[in-house]
Amino acid sequence: MMNLFVVLIPMLLLSAVFAELAVIRMGLPSADAESRSERESLGLAVAIEDDRWIVRADRFEAKIVGRDGSGAIGSLRRTLAGVTASFPENRDVVILSYPHTRYEDIISVMDISRETGLENLSLLGAES
């Protein structure tokens, strides 16, 4: 019986899968966001659709970025960097996803947003 435990315990430890957990920081709009005037609010949102991303804001016309091809992520990064350069006081972005949106797509948009200086992320679900 002891020989069985001597062999079994190391085998179980070697075959165990240790899960790595990561935390994605997200927040609700802060209380001071309500006190800001409408002039300061940009209302930036990125909608994740099947074949494109749509970058919308209150102060400029919506920009459509196609998700086809290898340069799609770079195009979205350049678009969001342009928004950040034009409105440096804005750090808020709302990511709009649909029920069929893949989790990986949401995470990639979050990563790109953080890379371009948009640190305050909010996630909003939309109806199909």
pLDDT digits (tens, 9 = 90+) for 77-87: 999 999 999 99
What does the pLDDT average to over 14-19? 74
Q: Amino acid identity of 67?
A: R
Strand order in the sheet with 45-48: 63-66, 52-56, 45-48, 92-97, 120-125
The tens digit of pLDDT for each residue in 25-73 reads: 666 555 555 555 444 668 899 999 989 999 999 888 999 999 888 888 9
For the chain, which residues make up each domain, given as ranges?
42-128
Q: Which CATH class is domain 42-128?
A: alpha beta
Please tell me whether the overall predicted TM-score, pTM, comes out greater than 0.75 for this model. no
The tens digit of pLDDT for each residue in 72-116 reads: 899 999 999 999 999 988 888 999 999 999 999 999 999 999 999
Pairing of strands 63-66, 92-97: unpaired
Look at residue 96 and give its three-state secondary structure.
Answer: strand
